Amino acid sequence: MVPTFSLRVPAEASHLNTVIEKVAAFLKAEDVAERHSHRICLSLDEVLSNIIEHGAPQSLKRRDGFMEVVVAVHEDRIVTTVVDDGTSFNPLLMRDPDVSSGLDDRDIGGLGIHLIRKLSSAVRYERADGVNRLTFENAIGS
């Protein structure tokens, strides 16, 4: 059986750190190397922060949505899936920031999704049944 962590919380900022701490503890218990755990927790931080900040339509006063995190530790890779019922949003369609430009031309935004792309070996997005589902994989081969 594949060791799996799963947690569903309200899409609110107060839950962000709890989720990340629990995922970090799970990965440590599964003997995942610190550098992989760091990449996964950072990517997760970026995805969840986006959902909390942008997931609700502007017109809604209350969010009332959820976000769900599933982390599965396979032999050669770790697969992390984040599901939320916020506004339809495919981060993979965002233009990547030009990370080679100098200080004057550097944009302040867009770095979060760039980090997820760079720190993962694969990223997928799908919208179905009214939810966003973002999956990123981290290879952990020797």
Partner 1 sequence: MNITEQAEGANIILSISGRLDSTSSKGLEDVLLRAVQNKAGVVIDFEGLQYVSSAGLRVLLKSAKMAKSSGSKLVLASLAPQVEEVFEVSGFTAIFAIHPDVRSGLASL
The contact set with partner 1 (CB under 8 A) reads 13, 16-17, 34-35, 38, 41-42, 45-46, 49, 53, 99-104, 106, 108-109, 111-112, 114-115, 118-119
Dist CA 85 CA 71 (whole Å): 19
Least distance (Å) from partner 1 to the CB of residue 44?
10
Spatial separation of the C-alpha atoms in residues 76 and 116, rounded to whole Å: 19
CB of 140 to partner 1, least distance (A): 15
**Closer Cβ to partner 1, 53 or 126, answer by number:** 53
C-alpha to C-alpha distance for 117 and 26, rounded to whole angstroms = 23
Dihedral of CA atoms 122, 128, 129, 134 in degrees, nearest 10, equals 20
Closest approach, Cβ 112 to partner 1, in A, equals 4
Is 49 in contact with 43 (CB distance < 8 Å)? Answer: no
By C-beta, is 2 or 103 nearer to partner 1? 103
